[in-house]
Amino acid sequence: MKVETTGLPGVLLITPDVYEDQRGYFMESFQVARYRKSGIDLEFVQDNISFSVKGTLRGLHFQNPHGQAKLVQVLEGEVFDVAVDIRQGSPSFGKWFGTVLSSKNHRQLFIPAGFAHGFCVLSETAVFFYKCSEFYRPECDAGIVWNDPEIGIDWPLKTPILSQKDAGLPRLGEIDDQRLPEYTGKQE
């Protein structure tokens, strides 16, 4: 397993070992001891799967309080996946990291609690899988509009398919400070 740091503290790009032959492939998508050694030392309590069509953009979502760390990957298709640091007081507040995740490259992205997350679908369809460190709590659910100019994400599409909820999300600068997570100086 190869683990790479990104421009955002705590956000990790992971390439699992994949064993391929004429039958197909095998890979371990998660193994607690190995991930712990890589700095991902937390308990995942919920797994989610979403299916989306080309041009769909989901995000930018976060949960606070009860922030969710996420380990995300694509089971079928290809997406452009994004993490945004939204921790008040963080040296990288408002900065983003994006990468292509696909069923061909098998890469995963680890996103610590305190970051907003979103993705857009580049292939005809995509099956997106993610592990969460905290249960989904509707009362803590929040988000940031995908095209916030102050964040300036360079999305590979200009007119995405959005849910009504995602289309109506505020800009980061419009969110009450009490709604945003605090920077503690450590990975959470």
Sorted by where each starts, the structural domains of the chain and their CATH numbers stand as: 2-179 (2.60.120.10)
Known catalytic residues? 61, 130
Reply yes or no on whether the pLDDT at 186 is more than 80: no
Cβ atoms of residues 113 and 182 within 8 Å: no
Q: How many CB atoms lie within 10 A of CB 102?
A: 19
Predicted confidence band at 176 (pLDDT cuts at 50, 70, 90)? very high
Handedness of CA 38, 127, 26, 46 (dihedral sign): positive
Segment (H or E) for 76? strand 70-76
- Give the pLDDT band of residue 187 (cuts 50, 70, 90): low
Residue 70 has a pLDDT of: 98
Q: Answer whether the bond into residue 65 is a cis peptide, omega within 30°.
A: yes
Section 123-150 average pLDDT: 97
Q: How confident is the model at residue 148 (pLDDT cuts 50, 70, 90)?
A: very high
